[in-house]
Amino acid sequence: MDTKLLLVKLITLIYLESKLDERSNGSTELITSILTHIKLPESYATNEFGKDPLISLRETARWMNANPQDHHYDKHELLQQLRVNCGNDNGLYDSLVSGIAPDFEPEALKEIVISYKHVLRQYINQSKVKELLKEAYTKTWFQSSTIDWRHYIKELTEALTPYSNNDCIEAAHPSVVSDVMFGDTAAVKNVFQRGVNELDTRGIIQFGWQGLNRMFGASMGARRGEMIVVGALQHNFKSGTTLEMFKSAALYNIPMLRDPTKKPLLMRISFENPIELDMTYLYRSLVENETGVYTDPKMIDIDEATRYVTDRLQATGFHINMCHIDPSEFTFRDLFDRVERFEAQGYEVIMLNIDYLPMMSKRGCATGPAGVEFRDLYRRVRNFTSKKGIICITPHQLSTEAKQLTRVGVDNFVQEIANRGYWDSCKTIDQEVDLEIYQHIVKVNGESYLTFQRGKHRKATITPERDLYFVYKFQQVGTIPDDILGVDCSRRSVGGKTVSDGGEGAWWSSV
């Protein structure tokens, strides 16, 4: 757009907006952005006849834009100032007069303001597109060695996407997930229907431990689209819990698809344990839970184990995918691509079980103070899986401050740290996830217990306080056996009786 015309539209828009009865949606930020894009050549300078008209009009536009939105402009005084600004350029002044002089009816005034804003948004969007393409040209032709070509095209496409619909003022930004006008009864009804669907227990995924299921409240299991983080110190069975959740999701649930034409898929990605280690654990857990007999890993029959794990985990109708990935070069975009490749093959991903999401490369995430890139990684993954209705589960290390609490002998460790931001690398992860589960191993009288405490849970109903904490005892066979199909083996306290036996506290707690 010609610089003269651009300045005319800016000044006219500011003046017309000052005449509106409702001024809450002014264009100050838009105009400020455009003024920063107006770069006048050095040849535009003061001469013996005064300042160049473009410099003068830009100064007037800045002055007007700095005024409050309800600032009163005397039309005749403003036109006098603009007359001086324009100097001998009569055509430029006439353009300003044509926009400012008329007295418009209120409704017509609103329409004209909207039209001006639309044109100026188009200008700023086009300017940003030019900048992106200019930068892309420079990088691809002169800095190609600095480009990660695996992701560059997608990154450039993502950067350009918000400007693809700038010709239509009604176009929704691609980041908008839901949008509703309360005057549209059908749209409001659809929102309520989606809310009811989210609470529909038919899509709930339950796990093998009754105490864990109670922790979810009325749903008694994970809802589609929830992101769950399991926090603990080193060597406190974090990976074991998430792998048990993966196993039991396949064993104890019938797939409920949002798209009946798809195939239900449970995905497990490990950035730490080799897939051989996870498969061996799954086989032992399955066999020992079913037979009650200890399984020696060295004595496993490979053919039998392959058939057994495959049959048992796919018996209810789920398809299973497990992989081990080197996380150093694996970014959130690679993760999204992997999910979408399975979707393109006809699968609907129900669960994404990631053994240590924070181990992924943070390339492409926001940078800043300590922890920003970790929080941004969680935000991006959660936004991706939530929209697709994928349950995402990952363990996360607790901080050194949490470890210090164990050194000073804090009682009820998991209850002490819950909801207090004791996360390693980023204290604000809780603001991005839907559910926090804290766990810690406690050893008493030669026996080991795994204690659990629920932290934040983003949902509509309140979970009873007594269900937020529970304990399971490690066994010689089956590690922590599943109890969903039998008596409740969870406990209310370390060393206490199981819930099925009354849940009383340990004998020493009353001494």
Q: How far apart are the first and last CA of the chain?
A: 85
Give residue-wise pLDDT tens across range 156-165: 887 887 776 5
Mean pLDDT within 175-187 = 64
CB 452 within 8 A of CB 414: yes
Out of 39-43, 83-87, 336-340, which region has the weakest mean confidence (pLDDT)?
Answer: 39-43
CA R_g for the chain: 31
Q: For 207-436, give the CATH class.
A: alpha beta
Mean pLDDT within 129-151 = 88
Write the burial class of residue 254 (CB in 10 Å: 0-12 exposed, 13-18 middle, 19+ buried): exposed
Supply the pLDDT for residue 381.
96
Q: Which helix (H) or strand (E) holds 276?
A: helix 275-291
Cβ-based neighbour number of residue 365 at 10 Å: 19
Give residue-wise pLDDT tens across range 204-257: 999 999 999 999 999 999 999 999 999 999 999 999 999 999 999 999 999 999
Supply the pLDDT for residue 369.
87
335 band by pLDDT with thresholds 50, 70 and 90: very high
Give, in order, the Cα–Cα distances in Å from 23 to each of 26, 68, 102, 209, 453: 6, 10, 20, 57, 50
170 band by pLDDT with thresholds 50, 70 and 90: very low
Q: Identify the CA nearest to 222 among candidates 212, 232, 231, 230.
A: 212
Cβ-based neighbour number of residue 42 at 10 Å: 5
Supply the pLDDT for residue 282.
94
Supply the pLDDT for residue 384.
93
Give residue-wise pLDDT tens across range 249-303: 999 999 999 899 999 999 999 999 888 889 999 999 999 999 999 999 888 888 8
Task: Say how far apart CA 101 and CA 281 lie, in whole Å.
Answer: 81
Task: Kindly tell me if the per-residue pLDDT of 111 is higher than 50.
Answer: yes
Task: Say how far apart CA 65 and CA 444 lie, in whole Å.
Answer: 70
Q: Does residue 428 sit in helix, strand or coil?
A: coil
Task: Say how far apart CA 339 and CA 361 lie, in whole Å.
Answer: 17
Out of 47-51, 106-110, 129-133, 368-372, which region has the weakest mean confidence (pLDDT)?
Answer: 47-51
Out of 115-124, 238-247, 398-407, which region has the weakest mean confidence (pLDDT)?
Answer: 115-124
Q: Where does the chain hold its CATH 3.40.50 domain(s)?
A: 207-436
Task: Kindly tell me if the per-residue pLDDT of 44 is higher than 60.
Answer: no
Mean pLDDT within 117-140 = 88
Backbone angles phi, psi at 257, to 5 degrees: -95, 140
Q: Identify the CA nearest to 223 among candidates 475, 468, 459, 503.
A: 459
- Across 11-20, 180-189, 263-272, the highest mean pLDDT is recorded for 263-272
Q: Supply the mean pLDDT for the chain.
A: 87
Mean pLDDT within 135-148 = 89
Task: Say how far apart CA 322 and CA 246 lie, in whole Å.
Answer: 10
Supply the pLDDT for residue 199.
58
Task: Say how far apart CA 470 and CA 214 lie, in whole Å.
Answer: 9
Q: What is the pTM of this model?
A: 0.69
Supply the pLDDT for residue 80.
93
- Tokens 């654990």 locate to 281
Question: Packing angle between helix 3-18 and helix 28-37, nearest 10 degrees?
Answer: 160
DSSP 151-220: HHHHHHHHHHGGGTTTT-TTPPPTT------TT-HHHHHHHHHHHHHHH-GGG-B--S-HHHHHHTGGG-
Task: Say how far apart CA 355 and CA 332 lie, in whole Å.
Answer: 14
Task: Say how far apart CA 494 and CA 451 lie, in whole Å.
Answer: 8
